[in-house]
Structure 1
Amino acid sequence: MRLFGRKDGEDGTGGHGTGGPGAGVPVFWAWWQEARPRVEAVVAAGDADGLAELLDPAVSALHPGLVWELAPGKEAAHALVVTAAGDAELRPLAHRWARAAPEGDLLWEFHPSRQADPRASERTFDMDGRTVELDKLTLGLRVPRDGSRVDVSAYHPIFGELDEDIRMEATLLALDWLLGEDDVARWVGEITPVTFEPIDAVAAAHLPAVVADLASDLAPGPGEEQWALLEGQTVSGAPLHASARHPLRPVDHPLLDRHIEITLPYRHRDEGGLPAVGSLSSLQSFEDRLTAGLLDRRETALLAVRLSAEGLRIFHLYADRDGDAHTWAEELVKGWNEGKARVQVSDDPAWTAVAPFLT
């Protein structure tokens, strides 16, 4: 039995009451401990409506935008998935839910995103009263020049009978089963459901192999970091130099939902406002201390982007809200003596502050 919860409209409260994001997670797992026998009874009876009556309010209490799914487990008989369904704002909450889950057993395992199904091509599902058979889904695949994602044109013989939104919903669900939801976010770029089969279409079952080849080409070696060096201009036309982690994708760091922006003014600059001799060594010394502190917090904080322009060096960090990175950053800048350093902290689970640098 494969079931899906509903994704209702958000109520503006975030589903967290006054306790902040994730406050409902321990409440859910306390409920689960008490309700598990009833859940197992309705699952054993094949009672889809009964299961929905139990899980809908419990998951909605976490956040009304989350979606639950019951699927076959990888190791256990059943997998309970509570997913953000592609909503980057909610992904950290789904992962906090999974991090707090009880240890899996023979009956249950828990996931914060839909998992790839090795038998996806054998699956069927109903969409707007129509049956979608995945073995009839074909894909046109194109890797753009930058080579970091694959664009997908999806065709199914019944797509002509479905409206645009339903075609997209069916396509996203199929891709989640083929690759797993996180790998869709990681490796798939533009998604276009079409009503005429692309000339170069291949069976959907080939998509995981194409993505695996792409991932192997881009993966850094053990212990390596890759950075992209970029040049541009500020709004006023001044030169801007930046370096961004590559690839830079929130899905790779789902618990790092707090943005920490460190701004250092530097005293010595060239005619374009970039750092010059006299400040370069101070900036490097600060970055050495920053890097050392991040190594101590490698699971809870990350430097995403650094940039220099108009007399300012700006570091964009992302951190787990449950860690100490924000207080550590505030202490770190106290030793800066070339001007007033600033640390700004905000919630940013979708990494909107570095959106131009995402790959």
Structure 2
Amino acid sequence: MTHKPQIKIPATYMRGGTSKGTFFKLTDLPEPCQVPGQARDKLLLRVVGSPDPYGAQIDGMGGATSSTSKTVILSKSEQPGHDVDYLFGQVSIDKAFVDWSGNCGNLSAAVGPFAISNGLIDPARVPKDGLCEVRIWQANIKKTIIAQVPMSNGEVQETGDFELDGVTFPAAEIQVEFVDPADDGEDGGSIFPTGKLVDDLAVPGVGTLKATMINAGIPTIFINADAIGYSGTELRDAINNDAKALAMFETIRAYGAVRMGLIQDIAEAAQRQHTPKVAFVAPAKTYTSSSGKAVEAGDIDLCVRALSMGKLHHAMMGTAAVAIGTAAAIPGTLVNLAAGGGDREAVRFGHPSGSLKVGAEAKLIDGEWVVKKAIMSRSARVLMSGAVHVPWDAF
């Protein structure tokens, strides 16, 4: 019996922030996969190695965590004033599902370097040395991201001494600015979809929780750690090895999604795994991070833990960091109160792998909170370039 060979598709495996994923140029994808639809989803599932009932993604590029089961498709931008269109697909590990509902803030740091190295940026805009400003159109949420990518002798600088908690080795610093992050991008709705800074969220089997529900960076539900029996200093195993806790957080997420207007019924939450996120906050405390490094209470403003794709994140999602920075800048939110309250333009929070600083400026205009930008520093690096191989019938 004759067997057809595998298909080879040009691709780059990249780390961006505390995530990594497989990057493609849109024009390198097989023609049926260059448009949204079943063929594209099937291809990306096969590339990453999903759905995998073993939860390991052994037969693909995924790393069996929400931080590593990611795909990115880039093309020259069709939006005025932008360089590159960035489409992000969060691939489910155990289900045949690609979630296109949100952005990956961490991988946003890798978009600029990939775009420069793969000819998606006008060469006239790329300096030989210094910083190259890349204006990114985030196609999932219809937002602008500006990345400052360091250049050295005409090439993207990847090595450096910038250290990012959650990433083992240092690299070159890339500043990422999220423009107008506190607008959901779909209907111009409020930062706070319930109209309140703090809401009472009734969750069957859990109780009525105080919650700040915000559309900034990514839709996020913030609750107080002590309201659900936690300190805010937990590491991954304390949550991810507790099936009852994971079920509780998913229930909170589902009911919060309904209150935020993201879904009409809690049953729809299973088909919207990437958004919203759930995070719990607590005042600053000293704890030991997952690497064994001490995080001192005096060095942070608060503690935050967040879940992504049903599991506690090993560090912090970039988009959730934007939500944290935005909420911290608005007096009266649970995040702001956990950080000590008052006005602030930046916040440093503790997460399982260490700490992260994010800046955001908020203003109250005509009774509505407006946040024009949120800024943080990340790093990115090419891990492997060449081609991914998939069976001929993968899509």
Task: Answer whether TM exceeds 0.5 for this pair.
Answer: no
TM normalised by structure 2 equals: 0.23
| Higher strand residue share | 2
| Higher helix residue share | 1
TM normalised by structure 1 equals: 0.24
- Ranked by relative contact order (alpha carbons within 8 Å, sequence separation 6 or more), the top structure is 2
Greater Rg over alpha carbons, structure = 1
